[in-house]
Amino acid sequence: MRWLMPEVPQEQAAELAAELGLHPLAARVLIHRGFRTPESASAFLSDRLADLPDPFRMRGMSAAVERLSRALREKEQITLYGDYDVDGVCSTSLLTLFLRELGIRPGTYIPHRLDEGYGLNVQAVEKLAAEGTRVLVTLDCGITSVEEISRARELGLDVVVVDHHTVPPTLPPAVAVLNPHQPGCEYPTKHLCAAGVAFNLCMGLRKRLREDGFFATRREPNLKALLDLVALATVADVVPLTGANRILVHHGLQELTAARRPGVRALKEAAGMDPDFPITAGQVGFRLGPRINAAGRLHDASLGLQLLCAESLEAARPLAAVLDRANAERQSIESSILTEALAQAQERAEAARGFVLYAEGWHPGVIGIVASRVVERFHRPTVMVGVKDGVGKGSARSIEGFHLYDALSGCADLLSRFGGHKHAAGLTVEAKHLPAFREAFERIAWQRLSPEDLVARCRVDAVVGVDELDASSVEALQRLGPFGQGNPEPVLVLHRQVARPRVLPHKSGGTGHLKLALVDAPNVDAIGFGMADRLALTEGPVDLAFQAQFDTFRGQRRLSLKLKDLRIAA
């Protein structure tokens, strides 16, 4: 791993700290991340809902709001068509709950991953039209559905597209398209997830209805109460936690912690989470999100929708239990596929700068997770494809500097369909084309990635001394959160530390963990998960790259260092 060390002028950091009343260490991190002026730092640190951008800056918002307002007035049937992942389920739940508060009970439709695949399909559109739908809202899909939306128009349906994926050259013939990536859209935060776009739609529609006097005789919906769903989707979809996303997730984590929604409370119970402990973005990504995702990956994603829209804890708990069991099943399947995928990747690692891994029978619902694991291990863009009945369904994950959607566009003649964005994508490919697709993808990866690109990087935010590691400095760093994609938890470095190491066994029998007690900081422990094989490096002074956190054990809070890497001190 290559360490990228910071270059932060100390005087500039001191000035920023004094200007904004920041802890000096937090100021150094902000400057290292490009927030060098009080104005830019203050804008980043803002977490007021009042600082969210005007939703009408989003192209298509006025048309979307007008069409939905008319549907409300004329009591037309509205159907919400969502995707089967966390973002699709949460955005569908969010808009369902919002419309219910307006006196409308919309229909919902989430396609079955294995039977129908991703996105709109003509058969579903025809079915919904026959059942009386007049306004169809797509959520987390639709931006590439030109044929399907053309068919909807023929059948008399008006379609509003709510999406965030890469915009194709030809937009579908919808009455409104909401997607911050489309040309001419002035909304400043481009990387919203679909639930973030849907929340803006709710903001815009509520504002228009308020102006029209709709709430003269009924209570206005409390949009803040919906931010738990926005936070779930934003974190799970791994979009950058900057700009509007940071504000939405900041408040959404508070709503998740409070767990006023029965489905959220039941989900936290099923995940074994402390109901009184503040929820972090990491817990959303690793404990809550996967349980909602599991239903769509293996069974029926509408279970997640039912859970999040449940009106009582009694109704929610059985659904949460089903999702919990589905998640355990998903983990078992994932483990088996990962073993096979790592073996394939190892065989190709010397010659390939990007992987296309495939096998008969790999479950298409979990291969995206496995692709992420392969990327973590080999630091190469990875496409995983599960083959059944001559058709391969795939998921892809990337590394910094390699745009997946662009790379797949270079292989488009070999793919039946594909979609996604820079970091993640999905695709369908005929099995007979897989060898040629692998060759084409590997050729593109070879052209666009250098050997240096294939070395994982550890981006260091600040070099610190032991005397700087205390409760106040760590609390100051935590206020830079929520942390996730685009705003990672700060990485610090301690130089020339002498440690007393010991190895802790891994519960499942894998590589054990490295536990260090620092001689210079006896009250601080450091742990490197899965780093037991680095034990020999600790025989002399070491440099430690880590994230500083608090652990709570038996009610006592203690500073702990989570190791990202270590090396022999120079």
What are the pLDDT digits (tens) for 378-432? 999 999 999 999 999 999 999 988 999 999 999 999 999 898 888 889 999 999 9
Half-sphere exposure of 158 (CA within 13 A, CB side): 16
CB 94 within 8 A of CB 202: yes
> What's the gap between Cα 225 and its chain centre?
20
Q: pTM (2 decimals)?
A: 0.89
pLDDT recorded at residue 26: 97
Dump pLDDT digits (tens) for 551-570.
Answer: 876 677 888 999 999 999 98
The amino acid present at 565, given as its one-letter code, is D
Which of 147, 129, 148, 154 has the alpha carbon at shortest distance from 76? 129
Cβ neighbour number for residue 315 with a 10 Å cutoff: 15
Asked whether the predicted pLDDT for residue 114 surpasses 70, the reply is no
What local confidence, expressed as pLDDT, does residue 478 receive? 94
Q: Which residues of 156-191 are buried (b: 16+ CB within 10 A; e: fewer)?
A: ebbbbbbbbbbbeeebbebbbbbbbbbeebebebeb
Mean pLDDT over residues 227-231, rounded? 98
Contacts of 6 (CB under 8 A, 6+ apart): 28, 32, 460, 461, 462, 463
Lowest mean pLDDT among 58-72, 112-126, 348-362: 112-126
Cis omega (within 30 of 0) for bond into 482:
yes
Lowest mean pLDDT of 400-409, 433-442, 507-516, name the range: 507-516
The pLDDT assigned to 300 comes to: 80
Joined together, the tokens standing for residue 420 give 């996604």
**How far apart are the C-alpha atoms of 374 and 359, rounded to whole Å?**
15
Among 105-114, 129-138, 288-297, the range of highest mean pLDDT: 129-138
Beta carbons within 8 Å of 27's beta carbon, 6+ residues apart = 13, 14, 16, 17, 20, 41
Query: What pLDDT sits at residue 297?
Result: 72
pLDDT higher than threshold 80 for residue 358: yes
Report the distance separating Cα 287 and Cα 130, nearest Å. 39
Q: Are strands 513-518 and 525-528 parallel, antiparallel or unpaired?
A: antiparallel
* pLDDT at residue 506, as a whole number: 80
Q: Across residues 498-521, what is the average pLDDT?
A: 85
- pLDDT at residue number 509: 66
* pLDDT value, residue 115: 73
Contacts for 269 with CB less than 8 Å, ≥ 6 apart: 275, 317, 320
Going by DSSP bridges, is the β-strand pair 462-463/355-360 parallel, antiparallel, or unpaired? Answer: unpaired
Mean pLDDT computed over 529-558: 88
- pLDDT at residue 149 greater than cutoff 90: yes
Q: Which residue has the tokens 């270590």?
A: 566
Q: Please check the confidence at residue 516 and state whether its pLDDT lies above 80.
A: yes
Specify the pLDDT at position 508.
67
pLDDT at 296 over 90: no
- Stated length of the chain: 570
* pLDDT for 227: 98
For residue 415, the 8-state DSSP code is -
Mean pLDDT of the chain: 93
pLDDT value for 525: 85
- List domains and CATH numbers for the chain: 55-322 (3.90.1640.30), 349-454 (3.10.310.30)
Least trusted range by pLDDT, from 79-83, 114-118, 145-149: 114-118
pLDDT class of 441 with cuts at 50, 70, 90: very high
Q: Which residues contact 335 (CB under 8 A, 6 or more apart)?
A: none
| Tokens coding 76 | 């037309």
d(CA 415, CA 408): 8
C-alpha neighbours within 13 Å on the C-beta side of residue 505: 3
The fraction of the chain above a pLDDT of 90, given in percent, is 83
pLDDT for position 552: 74
Instruction: Give CA angle at 64 (247, 261), nearest 5°.
Output: 45
pLDDT higher than threshold 70 for residue 46: yes
Confidence of residue 301 (pLDDT cuts 50, 70, 90): confident
Handedness of CA 410, 167, 164, 134 (dihedral sign): negative
> What tokens were used for 372?
């992420």
Q: For residue 524, is pLDDT > 90?
A: no
Give the strand pairing for 492-497 and 542-553. Answer: antiparallel
Longest dimension (CA), the chain: 76
Q: Which of 25-29, 223-227, 530-534 has the lowest mean pLDDT?
A: 530-534
Tell me: pLDDT of 321 over 80: yes
Q: What is the CA radius of gyration of the chain?
A: 24
Nearest 5 degrees, angle CA 359-CA 322-CA 306?
105
- The yes-or-no verdict on residue 467 having pLDDT over 70 is yes
